[in-house]
Amino acid sequence: MILNCAIVDDEPLAADLLTSYVANTPFLNLIGTYNSAVSAMKYIRENQIDLIFLDIQMPELSGIEFAKILPKETRIIFTTAFNQYAIESYKVEALDYLLKPISYDDFLAAANKAMDWFSIIRKQNVYTKDRFMFVKSDYKLVQIKLDNILYIEGMKDYVKFHVEDFHKPIMSLMNMKKIEDFLPANEFKRVHRSYIVNMKKVKMVDRCRLVFGDSYLPISESYKDDIQKYIDLHTLM
């Protein structure tokens, strides 16, 4: 996978350095370099740019303000000499925040973070569209339809997929975080360190427990607010 990227920085030396870093990174394709957010705005909004290496303090329009009007599909890595904007960068969901002078090691780590994010999102889009996935179980690849998953149970290095139409859980060697990232977030919710559930399959909510037939899954304190919001949204009052 190749990520189309742009550099927006009003400092020529900084822009040149980032350009050389992009050239040395095989999975990045530089679409353009701009000396201001205003000059970049028209092209970036009309073309598919995956990733922008974006300075913050620039004339006319700051990097923070520019980030707020970018398409959701375009992700940001801030490149700045100032550390006081870190909280603001979090609010605009930047993937990373690099302080100048930027080493290639730090640049590459941030670029790899972007690559990981896009890999997850694109796989998630495939799963959402096709509505199934294959998992390795007992030296075989087993197809699991997303709509048939009841819940997923984490057990140290393994997970159990509890699926309709299977007489026993499907066990696979993987971690819960990877599964959580890949599944559609509007349908599958983490309710506990050990459980991800298909909210469409919940038959009953009983005192902070989700009921699946004879199984009662606890909702832990750290996930309670998110699950309550989902339940409230789907409750007829």
Please tell me the distance from the alpha carbon of residue 153 to that of residue 179, in angstroms, as a whole number. Answer: 11
Q: So what's the pLDDT on residue 125?
A: 67
All structural domains of the chain: 3-128 (3.40.50.2300), 132-233 (2.40.50.1020)
DSSP string, 35-58: SSHHHHHHHHHHS---EEEE-SS-
CB 19 within 8 A of CB 7: yes
Q: So what's the pLDDT on residue 128?
A: 64
What one-character DSSP code corresponds to residue 59?
S
Estimate the crossing angle of helix 104-130 against helix 12-23, to 10 degrees.
60
Dihedral sign, Cα of residue 176, residue 177, residue 180, residue 183: negative
Q: So what's the pLDDT on residue 136?
A: 93
Q: So what's the pLDDT on residue 126?
A: 64
Please tell me the distance from the alpha carbon of residue 15 to that of residue 17, in angstroms, as a whole number. Answer: 5
Q: What end-to-end distance do the CA atoms of the chain give, in Å? A: 47
Please tell me the distance from the alpha carbon of residue 141 to that of residue 128, in angstroms, as a whole number. Answer: 19
Dihedral sign, Cα of residue 146, residue 150, residue 152, residue 158: negative
CA–CA–CA angle 68, 90, 112 (5° rounding): 100
CB 166 within 8 A of CB 180: no
Q: What are the angstrom distances between the C-alpha of 182 and each of 73, 75, 116, 231?
A: 17, 18, 12, 22
Please tell me the distance from the alpha carbon of residue 104 to that of residue 191, in angstroms, as a whole number. Answer: 39
Largest CA distance in the chain: 65
pLDDT in single tens digits along all 237 residues of the chain: 899 999 999 999 999 999 999 999 999 999 999 999 998 988 887 788 999 999 999 888 899 999 998 888 899 999 998 888 788 888 888 999 999 999 999 999 999 999 988 887 777 666 666 788 899 998 899 999 999 999 999 998 899 999 998 889 999 998 898 888 888 888 899 999 999 999 999 989 988 899 988 889 999 999 999 899 888 888 886
Please tell me the distance from the alpha carbon of residue 151 to that of residue 61, in angstroms, as a whole number. Answer: 47
Please tell me the distance from the alpha carbon of residue 78 to that of residue 74, in angstroms, as a whole number. Answer: 13
Q: So what's the pLDDT on residue 93?
A: 86
